[in-house]
Chain A
Amino acid sequence: MSAADTTTPTKVPLPRQAPPPTAPITPPGRRTSGGATVPWALLAPCLLILALVLGYPLVRLVTLSFQEFGQSQLWGFKPAESVGFDNFAEVLGDGEFWAVVVRTVVFAAACVLFTMVVGMLVALLLQRVSGWVKTLINIALVASWGMPIIVATTVFKWLFDSDYGIFNALLSKLPGVDMIGHNWFASGPEGLAVITLLVVWGAVPFVVITLSAGLTQVPKELEEAARLDGAGAWGVFRYVTLPILKPIVVMLTTLSVIWDMGVFPQVFVMRNGHPEAEFQLLTTYSYDKAFVVNDYAQGSAIALLTVVLLLGVIGVYMRQMLKIGEVE
């Protein structure tokens, strides 16, 4: 199989292929056979495992955040006592927490925005280039998509090394620029910009490949008609292509928000396991509180607040996915 095939998956179950709404969505007669015991029996092992490995820790996360839980509770010297909303009060009353929230939101927004814009541009570009260029781009995209995050992070660390990094060397080749020895991680904003680049580089391939699949579903006649009516390239994109791609764009954006709010190894490894205050995102901050300061309860409270922050996004995503799930 060649990498050139990536952009033309034959059967992508896009929401576009939904049957007309007049058709019954789930013909109950066809699906059922033999009551409700069979499906529940099939589901049982899966639900049981999930309840054990996910349900229990989730409940524990909530209870933990209302307790006092540090080293002595971990070793069992002291019982965990409920402290009500104390952990939350402490976290929410801390100026550093709010700085971290703002930083995380700005960072994630930048990552999502760049990923979506670059992804869309590359997907559109792929429709216009010759076959061999398309193959080359696809190879590069699949290689970067398949790279383990930890490897990608390690490689970027090397690219941006202050003394021997190729990035500084290349920049210094520009007339009047001397970047040799420039430390990109001396300041939070610059370092996080490098991490943004790493995240976007890793996330763009998935967006391009999904959007390319979506673009094949856009009827050529519609674009042609718009062009005949005098629409420019932007007009065709804005009024024909984009509305058709909207469900995929919404899905990709919400997924990106969820992933980019959860960025952890990129920051953790870039900063050698000890991110400075200027680099803290909600994930690393929660980790630090729990495992560095040994305040598991406050770490849990921060983690829970992150999940709450994400709930709004999840709602949007859920509506989209349920639509896809109901199509069949």
Chain B
Amino acid sequence: MSTATVSGPRRSKLGWNLLGLLVFVTAGFPVYWMLNTAFKPAKDAIDPDPSLLPTSITFANFSRALDIADFWGPVGRSLIVSLTVVVIGIAVGMLAALAISRFAFRGRKVVIVGILAVQMVPLVAMIIPVFLLLNDLGQYDRLTGLIITYLTFILPFTVWTLRGFIVNIPRELEEAAMVDGCSRTTAFLRVVFPLLAPGMVATSVYGFIQAWNEYLYALMLMSQQNQTATVWLGNFTTKHGTEYAPMMAGSTMMAVPIVVLFLLVQRKMAAGLTAGAVKG
């Protein structure tokens, strides 16, 4: 009798765990297969009956990937664009986030609606006028042009996410500092700002990832010579076919640093995202 009650819940847990492992395998498989292909000899990659487990490990695909087209140029350009966009986004977005989270003013609701609404406009709908605008301004195929356009999606995201972090900081802390003689600005700088720092780091990293991952504008607004990291992956597919093993090596080089960065901030972002409700 007593054994039955013990094994009952345990057995049901086993069932759930098996189901959970199935989810793990399904969700993780594409990532696993990317890594597996990246490290196996290129000739093993084009076996019609591929083995699920790694047979022998090689780094040849990585050097081949670096050979196919300039890698560091695109990566450098992506770094410049993403970092610049994040710096501008955080500086400008911070002020705006403060305004909508710490002040009551006429028109606040309109501003919130506006900032939310612009997140809804699909990027692809904007590409035509943006292309024409940059063409007119002589900013086509320039990093500055790309930076300007990336602000369209980074800025609303930054404002809304930082707002989420600011409202989590009790207003009483600032008020206490002001009672102790701080001005509003020093109260902010000495009390709120340090508490906000982790949120700002998370927002920056996440914004960086978004800018780094952008594909459509990067493809449309930059020529082949000035392509960014995401577009660089396209070099593996030519008229003569696709070199899959080096392509998976290239994918790995693109994905691993981003996934690691993402791992570092995703927990903080889960909070910010629920309030900010933004993704890619």
Contact = CB atoms under 8 A, between A and B. Distances in A.
B23 A265 contact: no
A306 B103 contact: no
B138 interface: no
A64 B129 contact: yes
Contacts of B258: 146-148
B105 A36 contact: yes
Interface in A294-328: 296, 299-300, 303-304, 306-307, 310, 314, 317-318, 321-322, 324-325, 328
B99 A169 contact: no
A145 B266 contact: yes
Chain B interface mostly? helix
Contacts of A38: 99, 103
A233 B213 CA distance: 41
B63 interface: no
Interface residues of B, number: 108
Contacts of A164: 45-48, 50, 244
21 contacts: A3-B263, A11-B168, A31-B102, A42-B103, A46-B95, A47-B96, A54-B121, A60-B129, A61-B125, A64-B128, A140-B31, A144-B28, A148-B212, A152-B30, A155-B33, A159-B30, A209-B266, A209-B270, A300-B128, A325-B100, A328-B101
Given A36-B105, A50-B118, A151-B251, A146 B126 contact: no
Chain A interface mostly? helix
Contacts of A262: 122-124
A128 B9 CA distance: 11
A261 B122 contact: yes
Contact of B152 (A28, A54, A128, A273): A54
Interface residues of A, number: 115
Interface in B228-265: 230, 233-234, 236-237, 242, 244, 247-248, 251, 254-255, 258-259, 261-264
A112 interface: no
Interface pairs A-B: 9 shortest CB-CB: A146-B262, A31-B104, A140-B28, A46-B96, A262-B122, A303-B125, A60-B129, A57-B129, A39-B103
B271 A9 contact: yes
Contacts of B100: 39, 43, 325
A209 B275 CA distance: 13
Interface in B155-188: 155-156, 159, 163-164, 167-168, 171, 184
Interface in B81-134: 88, 92-93, 95-96, 98-106, 108-109, 111-118, 120-130, 132-133
